[in-house]
């Protein structure tokens, strides 16, 4: 009974925080599907990784907030619809409602069929920036969750190495704790510049963090 009561309290607390979260309200006002858009916005405003004319791939894109923000970066006056100067490709196993100007491929990017669709759409172009807000379903068992997170980040790095231009960049979500130092090490082995970032829009009580790698070694 105590466990259930505690769980209810946690859920109620989370719901209360969510409802009163300024970024949730801002996302609703600005037409973003999730508050996560502001995390990428802060990262981009700091490092200028997404610009008009670029080719950007959003790995694990659903529900689409990062794709929405990216297309606005490539549109005159940051418009959510209309003209687009650049290419945004979103990939996810899950379905995603369309975002105007974003090319969505549903499937596992490790599968040959999906990889072929991506290569065909790129038509010989390199990717300028890969963004990934992917995270596993957490079990609460730290070692298992860390292993799942590490695997996803390793997949994102492998994808980036295969598709990025030499000066390209990769943004991934990570969590502080078991396995974090190994992921930073992997980035330092792969990229010339590595920057861990904790956006203000990432909840302060969360272990969530982001790592940015720029320029392939």
pLDDT of residue 216: 98
Per-residue pLDDT of the chain (217 residues; tens, 9 = 90+): 333 444 454 465 545 565 678 999 999 999 999 999 999 999 999 999 999 999 999 999 999 999 999 999 999 888 889 989 999 999 999 999 999 999 999 999 999 999 999 999 999 999 999 999 998 877 777 778 888 889 999 999 999 999 999 999 999 999 988 889 999 999 999 999 999 999 999 988 888 999 999 999 9
**Helix, strand, or coil here: 51?**
coil
| CA neighbor of 140 nearest in space, from 10, 22, 1, 40 | 10
So where are the chain's domains? 1-30, 33-216
> DSSP letter at 186?
H
Model pTM?
0.90
- Catalogue the active-site residues: 173
What would be the CATH architecture of the domain defined by 33-216? 3-Layer(aba) Sandwich (3.40)
CA 95, 98, 102, 104: dihedral to nearest 10 degrees? 20
Looking only at the bridges linking them, the beta strands covering 164-175 and 191-197 are: unpaired
If you count them, how many residues does the chain have? 217
| Exposure class string for 82-91: b at 16+ Cβ within 10 A, else e | eebebbbbbb
Query: H-type helices in the chain, by residue range?
Result: 2-19, 22-30, 37-47, 65-73, 112-122, 142-163, 180-190
Separation of alpha carbons 207 and 145, rounded Å: 13
């Amino acid at each position: 009974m105590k466990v259930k009561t505690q769980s209810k309290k946690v859920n109620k607390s989370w719901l209360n925080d969510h409802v009163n979260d300024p970024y949730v309200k801002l996302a609703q006002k600005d037409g973003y599907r999730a508050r996560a858009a502001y995390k990428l916005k802060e990262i981009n405003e700091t490092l200028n990784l997404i610009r008009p004319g670029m080719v950007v791939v959003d790995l694990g894109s659903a529900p689409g907030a990062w794709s929405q923000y990216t297309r606005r970066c490539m549109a005159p006056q940051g418009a959510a619809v209309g003209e687009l100067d650049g290419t945004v490709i979103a990939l996810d196993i899950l379905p995603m409602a369309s975002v105007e100007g974003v090319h969505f491929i549903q499937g596992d990017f490790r599968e040959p069929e999906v990889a072929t669709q991506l290569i065909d759409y790129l038509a010989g172009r390199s990717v300028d920036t890969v963004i990934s807000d992917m995270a596993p379903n957490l079990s609460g068992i730290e070692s298992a969750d860390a292993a799942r997170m590490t695997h996803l980040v390793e997949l994102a790095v492998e994808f980036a190495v295969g598709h990025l231009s030499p000066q390209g960049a990769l943004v991934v979500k990570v969590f502080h704790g078991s396995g974090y130092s190994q992921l930073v090490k992997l980035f330092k082995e792969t990229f010339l510049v590595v920057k861990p970032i904790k956006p203000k829009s990432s909840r302060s009580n969360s272990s969530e963090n982001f790592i940015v790698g720029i320029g392939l070694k």
